[in-house]
Amino acid sequence: MRLVQIAGYLGSGKTTFLLALVQKLAENDKKVAILVNDMGEIPVDGKVMEKAGMKVKDIGGGCVCCTLSGSLMNTLLAIGREQNPDFIIIEPTGIAVPKNITELAQRVSKKVEISFGATITLFDTTRAEKLVTYDTLKRLISTQIKDSDIVALSKVDACDADAIKFSKEEVAKMNPNAEIINLSTKEGVGFEELASAVMEIEVSA
Protein backbone atom coordinates (compact mmCIF):
# COMPACT_ATOMS: atom_id res chain seq x y z
CA MET A 1 0.00 0.00 0.00
CA ARG A 2 1.20 3.48 -0.76
CA LEU A 3 1.06 6.18 1.88
CA VAL A 4 0.01 9.61 0.67
CA GLN A 5 -0.17 12.61 2.98
CA ILE A 6 -2.36 15.59 2.22
CA ALA A 7 -1.75 18.56 4.48
CA GLY A 8 -3.04 22.09 4.44
CA TYR A 9 -4.33 24.92 6.53
CA LEU A 10 -7.95 24.95 7.63
CA GLY A 11 -10.16 26.01 4.72
CA SER A 12 -7.54 25.33 2.08
CA GLY A 13 -9.87 22.99 0.20
CA LYS A 14 -8.54 19.66 1.49
CA THR A 15 -11.91 18.00 1.98
CA THR A 16 -13.14 19.02 -1.48
CA PHE A 17 -9.92 17.77 -3.04
CA LEU A 18 -9.93 14.54 -1.01
CA LEU A 19 -13.50 13.75 -2.02
CA ALA A 20 -12.70 14.25 -5.70
CA LEU A 21 -9.45 12.32 -5.31
CA VAL A 22 -10.95 9.24 -3.69
CA GLN A 23 -13.66 9.19 -6.35
CA LYS A 24 -10.99 9.31 -9.03
CA LEU A 25 -9.02 6.53 -7.35
CA ALA A 26 -12.18 4.41 -7.08
CA GLU A 27 -12.83 4.93 -10.80
CA ASN A 28 -9.38 3.52 -11.37
CA ASP A 29 -10.25 0.45 -9.26
CA LYS A 30 -7.99 1.52 -6.43
CA LYS A 31 -8.84 0.63 -2.87
CA VAL A 32 -8.38 3.55 -0.50
CA ALA A 33 -8.28 3.91 3.29
CA ILE A 34 -8.20 7.25 5.04
CA LEU A 35 -6.84 7.92 8.49
CA VAL A 36 -7.97 10.91 10.46
CA ASN A 37 -6.41 12.18 13.61
CA ASP A 38 -5.95 15.22 15.70
CA MET A 39 -5.29 16.11 19.26
CA GLY A 40 -9.07 16.07 19.11
CA GLU A 41 -10.93 14.61 16.17
CA ILE A 42 -11.96 15.93 12.80
CA PRO A 43 -15.36 14.29 12.72
CA VAL A 44 -16.86 16.47 10.05
CA ASP A 45 -14.27 15.51 7.46
CA GLY A 46 -14.44 11.91 8.58
CA LYS A 47 -18.20 11.78 8.19
CA VAL A 48 -18.05 13.38 4.77
CA MET A 49 -15.58 10.75 3.66
CA GLU A 50 -17.63 7.88 5.11
CA LYS A 51 -20.63 9.12 3.17
CA ALA A 52 -18.52 9.03 0.05
CA GLY A 53 -17.97 5.33 0.69
CA MET A 54 -14.39 5.49 1.88
CA LYS A 55 -13.09 3.47 4.76
CA VAL A 56 -12.22 6.04 7.41
CA LYS A 57 -10.42 5.07 10.57
CA ASP A 58 -9.86 7.26 13.56
CA ILE A 59 -6.59 6.73 15.32
CA GLY A 60 -7.51 8.21 18.68
CA GLY A 61 -5.78 10.89 20.66
CA GLY A 62 -2.88 11.15 23.01
CA CYS A 63 0.37 12.94 22.58
CA VAL A 64 1.43 12.97 18.97
CA CYS A 65 4.99 12.03 19.94
CA CYS A 66 4.12 8.59 21.21
CA THR A 67 0.62 7.64 22.23
CA LEU A 68 -0.86 8.92 19.01
CA SER A 69 2.13 7.52 17.15
CA GLY A 70 1.49 4.15 18.73
CA SER A 71 -2.13 4.25 17.62
CA LEU A 72 -1.15 5.30 14.12
CA MET A 73 1.45 2.54 13.97
CA ASN A 74 -1.03 -0.12 15.08
CA THR A 75 -3.67 1.18 12.69
CA LEU A 76 -1.27 1.17 9.75
CA LEU A 77 -0.27 -2.39 10.60
CA ALA A 78 -3.89 -3.52 10.96
CA ILE A 79 -4.97 -1.86 7.71
CA GLY A 80 -1.95 -3.25 5.88
CA ARG A 81 -2.59 -6.78 7.10
CA GLU A 82 -6.39 -6.86 6.97
CA GLN A 83 -7.33 -4.63 4.06
CA ASN A 84 -4.14 -4.00 2.14
CA PRO A 85 -5.54 -1.03 0.20
CA ASP A 86 -3.71 0.42 -2.77
CA PHE A 87 -3.57 3.80 -1.08
CA ILE A 88 -3.68 4.95 2.48
CA ILE A 89 -4.27 8.66 2.80
CA ILE A 90 -3.39 10.53 5.96
CA GLU A 91 -4.30 14.10 6.64
CA PRO A 92 -1.72 15.38 9.13
CA THR A 93 -3.61 17.77 11.36
CA GLY A 94 -2.94 19.65 14.54
CA ILE A 95 0.66 19.20 15.56
CA ALA A 96 1.14 15.98 13.58
CA VAL A 97 3.45 17.32 10.88
CA PRO A 98 4.24 15.27 7.73
CA LYS A 99 7.85 14.41 8.53
CA ASN A 100 6.83 12.86 11.87
CA ILE A 101 4.22 10.71 10.17
CA THR A 102 6.76 9.64 7.52
CA GLU A 103 9.25 8.67 10.24
CA LEU A 104 6.61 6.62 11.95
CA ALA A 105 5.48 4.91 8.76
CA GLN A 106 9.12 4.01 8.06
CA ARG A 107 9.13 2.04 11.29
CA VAL A 108 5.93 0.23 10.29
CA SER A 109 7.29 -0.49 6.82
CA LYS A 110 9.58 -3.08 8.39
CA LYS A 111 6.53 -5.12 9.39
CA VAL A 112 4.08 -4.49 6.56
CA GLU A 113 4.75 -3.44 2.98
CA ILE A 114 4.39 0.32 2.65
CA SER A 115 5.64 2.48 -0.17
CA PHE A 116 5.78 6.22 0.12
CA GLY A 117 3.76 8.36 -2.25
CA ALA A 118 3.80 12.11 -2.55
CA THR A 119 3.33 14.39 0.41
CA ILE A 120 1.06 17.17 -0.80
CA THR A 121 0.27 20.45 0.89
CA LEU A 122 -2.60 22.63 -0.25
CA PHE A 123 -1.73 26.31 0.00
CA ASP A 124 -4.72 28.63 -0.06
CA THR A 125 -3.93 31.35 -2.62
CA THR A 126 -6.86 33.46 -1.45
CA ARG A 127 -5.14 33.90 1.92
CA ALA A 128 -1.53 33.76 0.79
CA GLU A 129 -0.39 37.02 2.32
CA LYS A 130 -1.86 36.15 5.69
CA LEU A 131 -0.32 32.67 5.64
CA VAL A 132 3.20 33.90 5.01
CA THR A 133 3.20 37.06 7.09
CA TYR A 134 1.42 36.11 10.31
CA ASP A 135 4.25 34.99 12.55
CA THR A 136 2.04 32.55 14.43
CA LEU A 137 0.86 30.81 11.24
CA LYS A 138 4.10 30.87 9.32
CA ARG A 139 5.87 28.19 11.35
CA LEU A 140 3.25 25.50 10.83
CA ILE A 141 2.71 26.44 7.18
CA SER A 142 6.42 26.41 6.38
CA THR A 143 6.91 23.12 8.26
CA GLN A 144 4.19 21.55 6.11
CA ILE A 145 5.56 23.03 2.89
CA LYS A 146 9.16 22.06 3.65
CA ASP A 147 8.02 18.47 4.19
CA SER A 148 6.12 18.35 0.88
CA ASP A 149 6.94 16.91 -2.53
CA ILE A 150 4.12 18.84 -4.16
CA VAL A 151 2.46 22.09 -3.16
CA ALA A 152 -0.93 22.72 -4.72
CA LEU A 153 -1.84 26.40 -4.92
CA SER A 154 -5.53 25.92 -4.16
CA LYS A 155 -8.58 28.00 -5.07
CA VAL A 156 -6.80 29.61 -8.02
CA ASP A 157 -10.21 30.25 -9.57
CA ALA A 158 -10.91 32.72 -6.76
CA CYS A 159 -7.90 34.99 -7.10
CA ASP A 160 -6.02 36.96 -9.71
CA ALA A 161 -2.72 36.27 -11.48
CA ASP A 162 -0.74 38.47 -9.09
CA ALA A 163 -1.93 36.50 -6.06
CA ILE A 164 -1.02 33.23 -7.75
CA LYS A 165 2.42 34.61 -8.69
CA PHE A 166 2.96 35.81 -5.12
CA SER A 167 1.92 32.44 -3.71
CA LYS A 168 4.20 30.59 -6.08
CA GLU A 169 7.18 32.75 -5.17
CA GLU A 170 6.58 32.40 -1.44
CA VAL A 171 6.16 28.64 -1.63
CA ALA A 172 9.31 28.33 -3.75
CA LYS A 173 11.23 30.29 -1.11
CA MET A 174 10.11 27.85 1.58
CA ASN A 175 10.79 24.73 -0.49
CA PRO A 176 12.69 25.24 -3.76
CA ASN A 177 12.48 21.52 -4.52
CA ALA A 178 8.72 21.12 -4.35
CA GLU A 179 6.69 20.82 -7.51
CA ILE A 180 4.09 23.59 -7.54
CA ILE A 181 0.72 22.99 -9.19
CA ASN A 182 -2.20 25.40 -9.61
CA LEU A 183 -5.38 23.79 -8.29
CA SER A 184 -9.07 24.50 -8.39
CA THR A 185 -10.90 21.27 -7.63
CA LYS A 186 -14.19 23.03 -8.30
CA GLU A 187 -13.16 24.15 -11.80
CA GLY A 188 -11.06 21.09 -12.54
CA VAL A 189 -7.85 23.13 -12.83
CA GLY A 190 -4.80 21.02 -12.01
CA PHE A 191 -6.89 18.25 -10.52
CA GLU A 192 -6.03 15.58 -13.09
CA GLU A 193 -2.34 16.43 -12.81
CA LEU A 194 -2.44 16.16 -9.02
CA ALA A 195 -4.49 12.95 -9.05
CA SER A 196 -2.00 11.43 -11.51
CA ALA A 197 0.83 12.46 -9.23
CA VAL A 198 -0.87 10.69 -6.33
CA MET A 199 -1.24 7.54 -8.41
CA GLU A 200 2.18 7.57 -10.00
CA ILE A 201 4.71 9.19 -7.72
CA GLU A 202 6.67 7.02 -5.38
CA VAL A 203 9.37 8.64 -3.31
CA SER A 204 12.18 7.21 -1.25
CA ALA A 205 11.37 7.85 2.39
Give the binding site for another protein (CB under 8 A): 9-11, 38-41, 43-44, 58-71, 73-74, 78, 93-95, 97, 100, 104, 107, 130, 134-140, 143
Contact 114, 2 (CB under 8 A): yes
Q: Which is nearer to another protein, 44 or 196 (CB)?
A: 44
Least spacing, CB of residue 31 vs another protein, in Å: 21
Least spacing, CB of residue 28 vs another protein, in Å: 31
Q: Which is nearer to another protein, 3 or 25 (CB)?
A: 3
4: amino acid identity, one letter: V
- Cα(62)–Cα(5) distance, rounded to whole angstroms? 20
Least spacing, CB of residue 35 vs another protein, in Å: 12
Alpha helix stretches (DSSP H) within 57-159: 67-82, 98-108, 128-133, 135-146
Q: Which is nearer to another protein, 54 or 64 (CB)?
A: 64
Least spacing, CB of residue 99 vs another protein, in Å: 8
Q: Which is nearer to another protein, 64 or 171 (CB)?
A: 64
Contact 80, 108 (CB under 8 A): yes
Q: Which is nearer to another protein, 78 or 188 (CB)?
A: 78
Q: Which is nearer to another protein, 11 or 188 (CB)?
A: 11
- Cα(47)–Cα(50) distance, rounded to whole angstroms? 5
Question: Measured between alpha carbons, how far is residue 172 from residues 28, 87, 158, 176 in Å?
Answer: 32, 28, 21, 5
Strands (E) across the chain are located at 2-8, 32-36, 55-58, 87-90, 115-124, 150-154, 179-182
Least spacing, CB of residue 161 vs another protein, in Å: 26
Least spacing, CB of residue 64 vs another protein, in Å: 7
